[in-house]
Copies of this chain bind each other. A is one copy, B any other.
Amino acid sequence: METVSGKRTSSDLEIAEMLSQQDGDMVQTHGMIYSIKDMGDFGFVTLRKRNGIVQCVWNKDTCNCDIKSLGVEYSVRVKGSLKKDDRAPNGLEIHLTEVEVLTTPKEAPGINLSKRKLGVTLEKNMELRPITLRNVRERAIFKLQEGVVKGFRDYLMSQGFTEIHTPKIVASGAEGGANIFKMDYFGRKAYLAQSPQFYKQTMVGVFEKVFEVAPVFRAEKHNTTRHLNEYMGLDLEMGFIDSFTDVMEAETGAIKNIIKTLNEEYARELKILNVTLPEVDEIPCVRFKDAKEMVAAEYGRKIKDPYDLEPEEEQLISKLFKEKYNSEFVFVTHYPVKKRPFYAMDDPEDPKYTLSFDLLFRGMEVTTGGQRIHDYDMQVEKMIAKGLNPEDFTDFLMIHKHGMPPHGGLGMGLERFCMKLMDESNVRVASLFPRDLSRLTP
């Protein structure tokens, strides 16, 4: 009887394992050929491994294969003697004795994947995405993204939050408006979830503190550098809050842990991408109304839209708080009722505003959050005031009817957060396979 027991099957070494060997030891590893430099009797073959580049030195007298028989994107297994060298990528070289070709491509890619920066247009990059992601700089973005999610998740778990998975096919939208994708569900009209809002609030009644990392779908018809039609939402929701400041504290804790995680576990990617992480000690808070006025005064602007922040205002608020308080983050609080959804709790001290916030990071909103209505009558009343029919929300209102603690939460856009982390100017670079008005492939 053949069995499997979860053991390691390969004797190919990882980079870290080779680094723990001695100079001159024979090592075996695998990789995809990233670049070849053929100088006649000798040459260099660099391998792309999952977490770094390894330089192999080829010499016609000592290696069993002809360098001319190799090509980029070949998958190979190699053997050779180890030489540690601080100048080489990842501190080592392999002096090849054997190369076994595992697979060969049909055609070489039309672009040089091993350049430090790809140097293609965004359009071209997106079109050739399955291949361009193999560039070491391109892929580092998504390793860093993994670290952001890890830092977020680890922190929340350490604080007693429960990870949940809620449906993406839904019967009604949580955020209102026309930006919702429609679909047919066995003859019934259905939608793709614009956010896990109803479900995460529901789960506060169950687990008190919950979070979800999942795709979010927005049928926004504008083509901008900061919108995606499908993105990853980092959502949390928490009960028994004293005010929405508790939610901002939770986010600040999560962001501090994201930065700590990146510093400790993703140093390689930070270096490849030349990322300067923000320092986060205390994040300043400013009221929406005050922020608008401060920026108008400081930079001589006219306030055009009193109910929302224009992108340029977000940039200027960030600039001002960076200059005055040396903070790359700023919480803008108390948004107008008019611009917040029906589940947002109004400020009892001034019911034109809500107990809500956005987090700006380096000039852009990366999070929206706030306290939610927990009282049944108050929620029904606000639905009606917003022109909605409470009968369309019977399932959601079940939680208010049967009791909810005071609660609040937030949603952060992963790609947008990563974009600002890397000081990139287009959110698409932080999405593996972006979905926008014109892109449904690859």
Contacts and interface: CB of A to CB of B under 8 A. Distances in A.
Interface stretch (A36-44, A60-68, A209-217, A342-350): A209-217
A60 B165 CA distance: 43
A399 interface: yes
A350 to B, nearest CB: 16
A99 to B, nearest CB: 14
A162 B142 contact: yes
Main secondary structure of the interface of A (DSSP, over half): mixed
A208 B377 contact: no
A134 B75 contact: no
A108 to B, nearest CB: 7
A143 interface: yes
Contacts of A281: 5
B440 A188 contact: yes
A280 B6 CA distance: 10
26 contacts: A1-B284, A3-B282, A4-B245, A4-B283, A5-B252, A30-B240, A32-B405, A74-B403, A75-B374, A102-B240, A102-B405, A104-B403, A105-B404, A106-B400, A108-B402, A128-B398, A130-B398, A139-B207, A146-B164, A167-B433, A167-B435, A181-B183, A182-B183, A202-B442, A395-B441, A396-B442
Interface residues of A, number: 125
A284 B2 CA distance: 6
B165 A215 contact: yes
A121 interface: no
B285 A4 contact: yes
Given A6-B280, A105-B403, A167-B432, 7 more contacts: A4-B245, A6-B254, A32-B205, A75-B403, A150-B163, A168-B168, A214-B215
Interface string A141-173: 011011001100000010010111111111100
Interface stretch (A8-16, A383-391, A419-427): A8-16
B73 A402 contact: yes
A32 B406 CA distance: 11
Given A32-B405, A248-B4, A249-B7, A205 B166 contact: no
A230 B398 contact: no
B1 A325 contact: yes
This chain: copies in complex: 2
- Chain B CB within 10 Å — which of A146, A254, A286 has the most? A146
- Chain B CB within 10 Å — which of A157, A167, A185, A396 has the most? A167
A134 B206 contact: yes
Interface string A68-98: 0000111101000000000000000000000
Nearest to A186: B437
Closest 8 CB pairs between A and B?
Answer: A73-B403, A105-B403, A6-B253, A395-B442, A6-B252, A50-B208, A75-B405, A3-B282
A77 B241 CA distance: 11
A229 interface: yes
B206 A139 contact: yes
Given A103-B405, A185-B440, A168 B6 contact: no
Contacts of A252: 4-6
A135 B402 CA distance: 13
Contact of A6 (B157, B221, B256, B376): B256
A94 to B, nearest CB: 16
A190 interface: yes
A2 B171 CA distance: 40
A374 B103 CA distance: 8
Nearest to A414: B165
Given A162-B146, A186-B221, A205 B402 contact: no
Interface in A178-232: 181-186, 188, 190, 192, 199, 202-203, 205-209, 214-215, 217, 219, 221, 229-230, 232
